[in-house]
Amino acid sequence: MLHNSKIIHMVGITGQGMVALCELLVAEGKQITGSDTGEVFQTSAILQKLGIRVKKFQKKNITKTVDAVVRSSAYGDAHVEIAAARHLGIPVMDYIDAVAEIFNTKRGVLIAGTHGKTSTTALVGCMLEDAGYDPTVLVGATVRRWGKNARAGKSEWMVAEGDEYQNKFLKLRPEILIITNIEYDHPDFFTTKKQYEQAFRTLVSGLPPRGLLIAEKNLKQIIVSVPCPVVWYGIVGKPEGRHMELNKKAALLVARRFGIARVKAKRSFDAYEGVSRRIELYTSSDADTVVLDDYAHHPTEIKTTLAYIRRLYPKHRITALFQPHTYSRTHVLLQDFTRSFGNADEVVLMPIYSSARERKDDFPPDLFERLLQETSKKHSNVKDVSGIKEAVAYCRNLVPIANGRVIVTFGAGDVWQVAKALATD
């Protein structure tokens, strides 16, 4: 449908995946319009560079000149713009169906997993670019080398990040599949751990016989039936804080499949500049107070990232500022969250960042208070703040110390604004 559409309107355009898709559509010569809540997101700068003015959600954004509407998974049929499109007979596509329309015409490399898929996707994409394969790449964050979330290549290859939420990745048909890890998440959709794991098994079952599965070795008990060759990978010793080593191991196995020399692949890794919101520095690395931001919103991600930061700054005082993401995840993984801050000297909790896909009233009214209380039982120094402004004020009032400080903001919401504000001081 997209190939035959000239003017495409995107509902929820500022989402990371939507922006990446938008970049690919613009590269194809499509005329894009878009709308969102009116908030400022990290992706807003990318859309501005593309010359796309983001409008606030409203019925009048949908006119008969629009050929197709692509919507974020956060918005259903009751949304004012979706309803308007249906009324005018304009085709409406879900984000993942639009991605599938592009991905499934290519030879696909898909990176899936609970953690690490964004960085691994960027690593593989940059490596194939450096090796001259000219891939199309779709990433769930801004790749610093490109200054955007996507790369429009001209070859038959496409590298993409596979999102398990709502079983989205099952719409994609990869030739090569990487699974970085599997750990229960998205309890608002997968009601049990068993359901969550089954989604990955179903994904694997769709691989072609000529395909390849590259999977972390601890997944052998979960992924037991594979219709194609499989290569297991891992690292020696404790993995805590060594997640980028694991990501590079997976990328090296992709290099082997493509016939890229190991030394050439490692040269590409050395030149890798990272992606936004993944241990992103907002100050110099040797500042008196180092400010970092990370997208970590799952207990394991927080624990792993703090272990890495502690290795980088063994003597610094680390303040972890955490904004829980979604009531459902906070509710189901509450006890795991309370145990994830061991490498922080101080924990500061922000209010739960709600999602359009859930209702606050469906959860205990004291959920945040329980998180605060239970975390205080596991950690000796826990505080809470009421929002972005108070968080910024609190961090600005921290007294400099001889060994230095690290302030790291965690969460999939808008907590990055705290790091940005501190970096401008």
99 in a structural domain: no
Last residue of a domain, one of 72, 94, 116: 94
Report the DSSP pairing between strands 230-233 and 54-56: unpaired
Q: 267 and 284: one domain?
A: no
If one counts the domains in the chain, the total is 3
DSSP for residue 372 = H
d(CA 102, CA 157): 11
d(CA 155, CA 170): 23
Q: 29 and 168: one domain?
A: no
Q: The domain that contains 262 carries what CATH number? A: 3.40.1190.10
How many angstroms from the chain centroid is the CA of residue 270? Answer: 22
- pLDDT for 419 equals 96
Q: 88 and 114: one domain?
A: no
Q: 140 and 241: one domain?
A: yes
Q: The domain that contains 356 carries what CATH number? A: 3.90.190.20
Q: 255 and 165: one domain?
A: yes
151 in a structural domain: yes
Q: 172 and 63: one domain?
A: no
Q: 56 near 35, Cβ under 8 Å?
A: yes
d(CA 238, CA 304): 11
Last residue of a domain, one of 237, 271, 305: 271
- pLDDT for 400 equals 82
Here the tokens at position 336 are 């795991």
Here the tokens at position 88 are 């005018």
pLDDT of the chain, 425 residues: tens digit per residue: 788 899 999 999 999 999 999 999 999 999 999 999 888 788 888 999 999 999 999 999 999 999 999 999 889 999 999 999 999 999 999 999 999 999 999 999 999 999 999 999 999 999 999 999 999 999 999 999 999 999 999 999 999 999 999 999 999 999 999 999 999 999 999 999 999 999 999 999 999 999 999 999 999 999 999 999 999 999 887 777 788 999 999 999 999 999 999 999 999 999 999 999 999 999 999 999 999 999 999 999 999 999 999 999 999 999 999 999 999 999 999 999 999 999 999 999 999 998 777 888 889 999 999 999 999 999 999 999 999 999 999 999 998 888 999 999 999 999 999 999 998 86
47 in a structural domain: yes
Q: 262 and 293: one domain?
A: no
21 in a structural domain: yes
Q: The domain that contains 34 carries what CATH number? A: 3.40.50.720
329 in a structural domain: yes
Q: 43 and 115: one domain?
A: no
- pLDDT for 239 equals 74
Last residue of a domain, one of 40, 71, 94: 94
Q: 108 and 241: one domain?
A: yes
Q: 249 and 297: one domain?
A: no
Here the tokens at position 364 are 């205990």
Q: 248 and 127: one domain?
A: yes
- pLDDT for 425 equals 67
Give the amino acid at 229: P
DSSP for residue 285 = T
309 in a structural domain: yes
Q: 176 and 309: one domain?
A: no
DSSP 178-244: EE-------TTT--SHHHHHHHHHHHHHTS-TT-EEEEEGGGGGT----SS-EEEE--SS--TT-HH
Kindly state the greatest CA–CA separation across the chain.
65
Residue-number span of the structural domain to which 76 is assigned: 2-94
